Amino acid sequence: MTLRKLLPVPSLLLALASGCQHSAAASPPAEGPPATPAPFASPPVLPGTPDVATLVARVRPSVVNITTVHEVKMAHHEFGVPDLEDIFPFFRQGPQGPMRRHGGDEGGDQVMKQQALGSGFIVDAQGHVVTNAHVVDDADVVKVKLADDREFQAKVVGKDDRLDVAVLQLQGAPRDLPVASLGSSDALRVGEYVVAIGNPFGLGNTVTMGIVSAKGRTIGAGPYDDFIQTDASINPGNSGGPLFDLRGQVVGIDTAINPQGKGIGFAIPIDAAKDVLPQLIASGHVSRGRLGVVIQGMDQDLAKAFGMDRPRGALVEQVEPGGPAEKAGIVAGDVIVSLDGREVPRSEELPRMVARHSPNVRVRVGIVRAGQHKEVDVTLAALKDEGQTRVGSDETPGPSGEKSSALGIGVGDDDGRVVVQRVAPEGPSDGKLLPGDVIEQVNQQPVTGAADLAAKVHAASADRPVLLRVKRGDQSRYVAIERRK
């Protein structure tokens, strides 16, 4: 599934067609009794029907339209067809939107001003506005327009690119600003009605309604993927706008859409944003704790191989040398199942749970090791900005070609390493191992060669999958494989 953040859209100019004129004179109204008002011209809200109109009237003043201006330097004649520059010297269509020439010498670089649009909402009387970080990325000027058409310049006071949240502050704004109420996304239920208000395609104060389609969606947007999915219509320009529940409280921040799908949009849970807003307002950045592990998800085969009753927790692939987890005694192959007494239901939850803690805070980590549960205390370090890169395998098979028929693979010895040479189509390892993978462990025991691998696989318990630790490129991970009978 291809997903796309709601990138700010170029400002939209709408031309209204003039009304049609008729040559024939209008007929006089027919005589008769006065017309009776149509029934339900202003219908009452029926029992059980949400009063969306009243809700919107109450919350819409807190929603704002955001316009950003980016200055882009472009070489002379970079617009493509030179003749068009002579015809339209003052208006250009840049890569993302309309652009106007600004300065520059004859034949030299031109500075173009590019406008883009987004949405946001006011969160306090000091004029702080919440939006998406990608709405204001690299913006030279930020303007905010309120629902009553008042406009203010704004400055970016803080950004959290990991969560895609930014905080602006209105310049010269009065203290009587309408403020949005922040609700609870944790309490939000799938199937609840929600209302989105924003600035899609420059159509400010647009209101759409739908339901919460799902929660906890992972869409590949970063380490803190945990999105609310909704079918309330959101489009480019809605980025940063609020998603309200029927109590009139903000429960999400509209952020991304699935461009191939109709009615599939995603919002950041407001509880995640509330965790970082005080830091963004106070210091402009977010400090998060770091455990110092690389993790992978658990599936049914892995859970069975580790002697667990069901898939849960986060499997530790690697431990950072000298990091917090290593100092506390956590090792590769441990399964982290709880943090400060709260269960880790899925591996995706662990980074978010750790990130809610500040550096130098001590947390209690529950792990499963060799089928036994234990707890260790870990003092978190500060999360670094640099990300990890997973490198594809560049290993080459060794000269030997022994088979491990129970796993459906062919392996070879290469300078003390056991290298996968072949994977049998539709065999037990198909889709789990690749040629070039290096098998480091079997059931958490080191492997010294192809013969040792075969012996350990043969000796393994028949009622559990075989647990392999496999290195692919620079990354090691665990794989559970059901043996061929």
Q: Which residues are catalytic?
A: 134, 164, 239
> Pairing relation of β-strands 165-170 and 151-160?
antiparallel
Of the candidates 234, 60, 249, the one whose C-alpha atom is nearest the C-alpha of residue 147 is: 60
Distance of alpha carbon 401 from alpha carbon 389, whole angstroms: 31
461: exposed, middle or buried (Cβ count in 10 Å: 0-12, 13-18, 19+): exposed
**Contact by Cβ (8 Å): 118, 131:** yes
| Residue 323 DSSP code | S
Task: Quote the Cα angle for 426-431-433, to 5°.
Answer: 110
Helix/strand/coil (H/E/C) assignment for every residue in 324-374? HHHHHCCCCCCEEEEECCEECCCCCHHHHHHHCCCCCCEEEEEEEECCEEE
Structure tokens at 198: 């924003």
**Residues paired with 170 in a beta bridge:** 154
**Residues paired with 23 in a beta bridge:** none
Q: How far is CA 160 from the centre of its chain?
A: 12
Task: Quote the Cα angle for 287-291-296, to 5°.
Answer: 120
